[in-house]
Structure 1
Amino acid sequence: MPGLLQDRVAVVTGGGSGIGEAIAIGYAREGAKVAVLDINGDSAGKTAAAIKANGGTAIALPLDVSQREACFAAAKEVARQLGAVSVLVNNAGINRRNPIAADADVFLKDWQDIMAVNLNGMLNVTQAFLPALRESKGRIVNIGSIQSFVHVRTPNSAAYTTSKHGVLGFTKALAAELGKDGVRVNAIGPGLIETPLNAQVRATKPEVVQVFLDHTPLGRAGKPEDIVGPAVFLASDMSSYVTGTIVMADGGYRTI
Structure 2
Amino acid sequence: MKLLENHIAVVTGAASGIGRAIAAGYAREGAQVALLDIDARAAEAAAQEIREAGGLAESFHLDVRRREDCVAVARRVAEQVGRVSILVNNAGINRRNAFAGDGAAVIKDWEDIIAINLDGVFNVTHAFLEPLRASQGRIVNIASIQSFVHVRTPNSPAYTTSKHGVLGFTRALAAELGKYGVRVNAIGPGLIETPLNAQARANNPDLVRIFMDHTPLGRPGKPEDIVGPAIFLASDLSSYVTGSIVMADGGYRAI
Is the structural similarity TM-score above 0.5?
A: yes
Taking the aligned partners of 1:63 and 1:70, their CA distance within structure 2 comes to 7
Give the match's secondary structure for 1:42: helix
In the alignment, what sits opposite 1:14? Answer: 13
TM superposition score normalised by structure 1 = 0.99
Confirm whether residue 60 of structure 1 aligns to residue 59 of structure 2.
yes
Cα distance, 1:78 vs. partner?
0.6
Give the match's secondary structure for 1:60: strand
In the alignment, what sits opposite 1:47? Answer: 46
Taking the aligned partners of 1:75 and 1:208, their CA distance within structure 2 comes to 38
Taking the aligned partners of 1:165 and 1:156, their CA distance within structure 2 comes to 14
Taking the aligned partners of 1:191 and 1:210, their CA distance within structure 2 comes to 13
In the alignment, what sits opposite 2:157? Answer: 158
Give the match's secondary structure for 2:60: strand
Cα distance, 1:7 vs. partner?
1.5
**What's the CA shift string for 1:53-102, capped at 9, x where partnerless?**
01111000110000001000100111111110000000000101111101
Give the match's secondary structure for 2:26: helix
In the alignment, what sits opposite 2:147? Answer: 148
Question: Which sections of structure 2, spanning at least 5 residues, go unmatched?
Answer: none
Cα distance, 1:155 vs. partner?
5.0
Cα distance, 1:47 vs. partner?
0.9
Confirm whether residue 86 of structure 1 aligns to residue 71 of structure 2.
no
In the alignment, what sits opposite 2:221? Answer: 222
**What's the CA shift string for 1:125-155, capped at 9, x where partnerless?**
0000000000000000000000000000115
Aligned residues: 255
Confirm whether residue 249 of structure 1 aligns to residue 245 of structure 2.
no
Give the match's secondary structure for 2:9: strand
In the alignment, what sits opposite 1:213? Answer: 212
Taking the aligned partners of 2:155 and 2:83, their CA distance within structure 1 comes to 41
- Written as runs of structure 1 = structure 2, the 5 A alignment for 1:97-176 is 97-176=96-175
Taking the aligned partners of 2:155 and 2:42, their CA distance within structure 1 comes to 29
**What's the CA shift string for 1:180-219, capped at 9, x where partnerless?**
0000000000000000000001111111110000100000
Cα distance, 1:156 vs. partner?
3.0
Cα distance, 1:46 vs. partner?
1.0
Taking the aligned partners of 1:39 and 1:127, their CA distance within structure 2 comes to 18
In the alignment, what sits opposite 2:76? Answer: 77
Runs of 4+ aligned structure 1 residues displaced above 2 Å come to: none
TM superposition score normalised by structure 2 = 0.99
**What's the CA shift string for 1:18-63, capped at 9, x where partnerless?**
0000000000000000000001001100110011001111000110
Taking the aligned partners of 2:49 and 2:125, their CA distance within structure 1 comes to 26
Give the match's secondary structure for 2:139: strand
State the AA in 2 paired with 1:32: A
The percent identity for this pair of structures is 70
State the AA in 1 paired with 2:62: L
Give the match's secondary structure for 2:208: helix
**What's the CA shift string for 1:214-236, capped at 9, x where partnerless?**
10000000000000000000000
